[in-house]
Structure 1
Amino acid sequence: MELKAEFTTEPFHGEGEPPEHAVRARDAAAEAGLTVDFGPLGTTARGDAETVLDALPSIARAALDGGATRLTFQLSTGRTSSRPEPPPQTLARLIQDVEGQLGGRLSELDRPGKQRAVRLLEERGAFAMRKAVVTIAEALGVTRFTVYNYLNRDG
């Protein structure tokens, strides 16, 4: 059986390089032989159940040794998202629709406008698509870490 471990480390950082504790946790998961999808506000590691379960203590230790003040894990089997994944090739259309709603290219918006664009895209399910953060960050003219920061902001 395959398991998926999703974990977040805190404190969160906004723009710039990811925090040391997040990098160390990611590296520990990779060194354990897991398939890793890394983001500054969360990391997903996949592998067979035994490998994932055996890796959890080393991931936790690496995060704490790197300065994490909080570590949250979630384990699941298979795809458990309650949000339906949009059909392929719709991300460009979603971005175009938000640009129309906000009256201009995402890259030309001010910071509050970009934050609103991210919220609108999130409401429309854009972030359920694979690699959406990278595409949306490019459209906004910001880093993917900034997009994660916008997603983490309270409404």
Structure 2
Amino acid sequence: MGTIIKLISNLITTAFGIIFIPLSLFVLVVMPFMAISDGVKIISTGYSVNNEYLTLMIAVLILTYISLRFRNLRRIYALFPSMFEFLKYLIIADCFISVGAELLNYSHTTLNPTIQKLGIAVFIASFILWRIFAAIYYSKKPIVAFKTSNKERMQNYSKEA
């Protein structure tokens, strides 16, 4: 019975790693480019477009939660150790960018130029806030520790030792 459960969990992990992880990585990598192109389209035409950034973010967050919640699915991050940090960075970036794109889209549903200019300012501010947040977050929790320890030991190359 234990080998059947282990076999089923390995099959689910393999299917999840082959289907859902590449799909969520593709969505996370492509989403900023889609948001920027939609933002340029909205600003240049003055009309709102059909976008589903928050829905995509919720779907990716659910898939990421599932992959982190279950122990057998967490093995994917043991196989690819830098993938978790890559996912974390892209999720943070896409959250800011998707909220900015949604607010820009919402501001152009009305014909009020003041609200449209405010939407453009919020869209640009979302990029700036994302960079500030990422800089603060990764300065406090760096991906790789580059600091050397205070007690570095020098090798003794003298002949006397």
TM range (shorter): under 0.3
Identify which of structures 1 and 2 has the higher relative contact order when contacts are C-alpha pairs closer than 8 Å and 6+ apart. 1
Name the structure where strand makes up a greater proportion of residues. Answer: 1
Largest Rg, 1 or 2: 2
Name the structure where helix makes up a greater proportion of residues. Answer: 2
TM-score (norm. length: structure 2):
0.23
